[in-house]
């Protein structure tokens, strides 16, 4: 079953997401007012409104910062036509800065989408039309590809960036804090301190998030068994994988796969 969800949120004081997360759908994140520190994939960026960012499926992300107004459009790939899918894939992991005129256009479209009465006749077609216009506007705006290793407005020590890059490439290996610390000629304590300070989680928690994200992608896109996926994602056993997955996602791996297939 395909879906689209529109959400508007505002905070008048500092607010941070509790945990890094990923999902199986696209997210169109529109920051209307405020500044947010946005962790995306493997780096941290300072977003200043007005700005759009397209988050593709199965990419770790998290936001934190001061007061803001933002709109989210969560949309499953099965909802998209070929043009819409092309635009979102092309603009994925990009910062799309908006002019004042563009800010007004996007605010108006998203407010209309948010205010569609689901009980009115043809509400689904009205929403689909507004979404098509939103994608058309996104397609017409130039964008800047994010640099995965640097951030102009938010400093992350080179050590943390190097470890993050290493974990993203080697998540399936039998890694321990000792092994990671030795590889980068540092101590476990220094690793933990820097990750908690700049990423707001421990190296182990970050690695676990990568493993779960990769597992979710394999569950959705392949027919590999839970045992195979467990091994490919670097878990010590299928049972341990199942326990960790259910704790983080509130659903078992097989139930997650079934839920994703029902969307098709």
What is the average pLDDT across 142-158? Answer: 58
pLDDT at position 215 is 94
Q: What distance in Å separates the CA atoms of residue 138 and residue 141, rounded to the nearest whole number? A: 6
pLDDT reading at 148 higher than 60? no
Provide the β-strand partners of residue 220: none
**By C-alpha distance, which of 87, 173, 164, 84 is closest to 131?**
84
pLDDT reading at 150 higher than 80? no
pLDDT at position 163 is 92
| 144: confidence class by pLDDT, cuts 50, 70, 90 | low
Q: Which domains does the chain have, with CATH numbers?
A: 4-145 (2.60.120.280), 158-262 (1.10.10.60)
**By C-alpha distance, which of 217, 253, 250, 212 is closest to 234?**
212
What is the average pLDDT across 169-179? Answer: 91
Q: In 173-202, which positions are buried (b, 16+ CB within 10 angstroms) versus exposed (e)?
A: eebebeebbeeeeeeeeebbebbeebbbbe
Q: What is the dihedral of CA 146, 20, 18, 201, to 10 degrees?
A: -100
Question: What proportion of the chain, given as a percentage, has pLDDT over 70?
Answer: 94
Degrees to nearest 5, angle at CA 45 with 79 and 183? 105
In the structure encoding, which two tokens stand for residue 178, read together?
């000792």
142 or 202, greater pLDDT? 202
What is the average pLDDT across 27-31? Answer: 95
């Amino acid at each position: 079953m395909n879906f689209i969800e529109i959400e508007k949120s505002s905070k008048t004081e500092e607010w941070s997401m509790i945990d890094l997360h990923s999902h199986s759908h696209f997210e169109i994140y529109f920051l209307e007012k405020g500044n947010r520190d946005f962790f995306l994939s493997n780096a941290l960026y300072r977003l200043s409104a007005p700005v759009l960012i397209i988050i593709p499926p199965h990419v770790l992300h998290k936001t934190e910062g001061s007061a803001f107004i933002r709109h989210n459009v969560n949309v499953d790939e099965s909802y998209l036509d070929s043009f819409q899918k092309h635009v979102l894939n092309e603009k994925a992991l990009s910062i799309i800065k908006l002019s004042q005129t563009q800010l007004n256009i996007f605010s108006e479209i998203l407010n209309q989408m948010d205010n569609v009465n689901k009980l009115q006749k043809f509400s689904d077609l009205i929403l689909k039309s507004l979404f098509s216009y939103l994608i058309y506007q996104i397609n017409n705006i130039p964008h800047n590809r994010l640099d995965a290793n640097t951030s102009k407005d938010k400093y992350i020590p080179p050590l943390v960036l190097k470890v993050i890059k290493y974990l993203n490439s080697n998540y399936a290996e039998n890694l321990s804090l000792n092994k990671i610390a030795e590889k980068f000629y540092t101590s476990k304590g220094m690793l933990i301190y820097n990750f908690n300070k700049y990423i707001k989680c421990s190296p182990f928690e970050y690695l676990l998030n990568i493993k779960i994200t990769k597992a979710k992608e394999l569950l959705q896109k392949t027919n590999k068994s839970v045992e195979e996926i467990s091994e490919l994602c670097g878990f010590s056993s299928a049972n341990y994988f199942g326990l960790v997955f259910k704790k983080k996602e509130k659903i078992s791996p097989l139930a997650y796969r079934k839920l994703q297939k029902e969307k098709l």
